[in-house]
Amino acid sequence: GAVVSQHPSRVICKSGTSVKIECRSLDFQATTMFWYRQFPKQSLMLMATSNEGSKATYEQGVEKDKFLINHASLTLSTLTVTSAHPEDSSFYICSAREASTNEKLFFGSGTQLSVL
Amino acid sequence: RKEVEQDPGPFNVPEGATVAFNCTYSNSASQSFFWYRQDCRKEPKLLMSVYSSGNEDGRFTAQLNRASQYISLLIRDSKLSDSATYLCVVNRQNQKVTFGTGTKLQVIP
């Protein structure tokens, strides 16, 4: 199946710093990528939809100035958590949709962010 | 009403049992349907697509009922390794993908 690489897998940072997470589709072109957040024992929550070459679409309640998304190429989307705070600590997962396979989603392995 | 609804469970079943999950969706324009499996602190992984004609993959059978707007997943001969959260995913072409909250399955020895 298609491969999505997400990096880093784990980040520990101080409050107030910014953290960048990368999501790459390795063997297919992803015109659309999605970013999710998952708190312990809770379900995936869609944060934003990232379209190559255009601005991301954010879900209600997600601050676009705090969670900066860039999708500059067909294989790379990045999520930057700006001025991170402890309440931003969570598991962040990206996914990419492969149009040629009936819209299946393939997920990155996730990034565990811990803000001290 | 949520776009996609699932019973969160947990479903606690003994090894060897058969268990079934349902997932209902509200948007009749939904076009593609999937079941994903998510283990604790890991990313979701595609289990199977769901078609109107029904499809089977080993011990797993998925079905779609468009008239009643639900999809189902049947697991036969449950194994301990089947313990996970099963996510229902509903997709409208070129639009956002909607996840159910997941159904937790615990297979007990």
The mean pLDDT of chain A is 90
pLDDT in tens, A35-88: 999 998 788 888 999 888 888 999 999 999 999 999 888 899 999 999 999 999
Residue B102 and residue B2 in contact, taking contact as beta carbons nearer than 8 Å: no
* Residue that wins the pLDDT comparison between B20 and B54: B20
For the segment B32-53, the average pLDDT, to the nearest whole number, is: 90
Of B44, B49, B97, the CB nearest to A102: B49
Contacts of B44 in chain A (CB under 8 A): 44, 93, 95, 105, 107
Which pLDDT tens digit goes with each residue over B68-108?
Answer: 999 999 999 999 999 999 999 988 766 667 888 899 999 99
Q: What are phi and psi of A70, to 5 degrees?
A: -125, 130
The pLDDT assigned to B17 comes to: 97
Which of residues 3 through 62 in chain A touch B, CB cutoff 8 A?
6, 32, 34, 43-44, 46, 49, 57
**Spatial distance between the Cα atoms of A103 and A106, rounded to a whole number of angstroms:** 10
**Whole-number pLDDT of residue A41:** 79
More confident position, A73 or A100? A73
Question: What pLDDT was estimated at residue A74?
Answer: 86
